[in-house]
């Protein structure tokens, strides 16, 4: 009897701080909710909890930044070198605060995704992250907010939107309470969408390797 081998999608995760989205992805892979595997974690912050989470899971991890590499050009070369070594099928930016160089985006065209805690195109762009987003949503008097997953291009939060999940803004919400509720939905949502990517329901582009 011929047994068909199921492809496991190789995921590289970039993260800058707490890594709660990274944890959700690692848990989703371990629990077989995502037909994938986190093969490498990269952070521009040597003190990030994301690196500690990866270490705990036994996943290879790297602190790579302009400071560690001595400039933007060297940073890009180092990132490309690491990615070439691990050959991910896709890159997921889980709270990564830096723009990727166009050479990386070209090599992994339509294979780089980001998650944002608002319903883009609202409340996106440079400097709009975490509490700044939730504060802006409340100050604008919005009745709903949510989570957006989009492909990454060379401009912050402007790539093709592939999925969104709505979260209501409740009377009496503070930025902190709204953040907590959005983050709870975010963790579930990214597992749902990564599962669809791994299963081929959401297409991946061709790598330029």
C-alpha to C-alpha distance for 27 and 7, rounded to whole angstroms: 19
Q: In whole angstroms, give the CA distance from residue 80 to residue 5.
A: 29
Q: Which residue from 126, 166, 159, 160 is spatially nearest to 142, judged by alpha carbons?
A: 166
**68 CB neighbour count, 10 Å cutoff:** 13
C-beta separation of 159 from 152 below 8 A: yes
Of 17, 63, 116, 134, the catalytic one is 116
| Cα separation, 1 vs 96, whole angstroms | 45
Rounded to a whole number of angstroms, the distance between the first and last alpha carbons of the chain is: 34
Q: Is 150 a catalytic residue?
A: no
For residue 114, list its beta bridge partners. 93, 150
The interaxial angle of helices 130-139 and 175-198, nearest 10 deg, is: 120
Catalytic residue list:
116
């Amino acid at each position: 009897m011929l047994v068909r081998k199921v492809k496991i999608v190789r995921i590289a995760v970039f993260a800058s701080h707490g890594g709660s989205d990274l944890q959700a992805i690692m848990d989703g892979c371990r629990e077989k909710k995502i037909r994938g595997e986190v093969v490498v974690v990269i952070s521009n912050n040597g003190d990030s909890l994301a690196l500690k989470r990866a270490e705990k899971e036994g996943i290879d991890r790297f602190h790579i930044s302009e400071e560690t590499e001595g400039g933007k050009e060297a940073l890009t070369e180092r990132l490309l070198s690491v990615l070439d070594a691990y050959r991910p099928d896709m890159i997921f930016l889980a709270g990564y605060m830096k723009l990727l160089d166009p050479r990386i985006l070209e090599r992994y065209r339509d294979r780089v995704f980001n998650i944002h805690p608002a319903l883009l195109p609202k409340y996106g762009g440079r400097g709009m992250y975490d509490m700044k987003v939730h504060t802006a949503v409340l100050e604008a008097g919005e009745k709903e907010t949510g989570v957006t997953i989009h492909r990454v291009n060379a401009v912050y939060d402007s790539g093709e939107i592939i999925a969104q999940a709505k979260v209501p803004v409740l009377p009496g919400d503070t930025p902190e309470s709204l953040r907590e509720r959005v983050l709870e939905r975010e963790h579930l949502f990214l597992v749902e969408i990564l599962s669809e990517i791994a299963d081929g329901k959401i297409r991946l582009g061709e790598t330029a390797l």
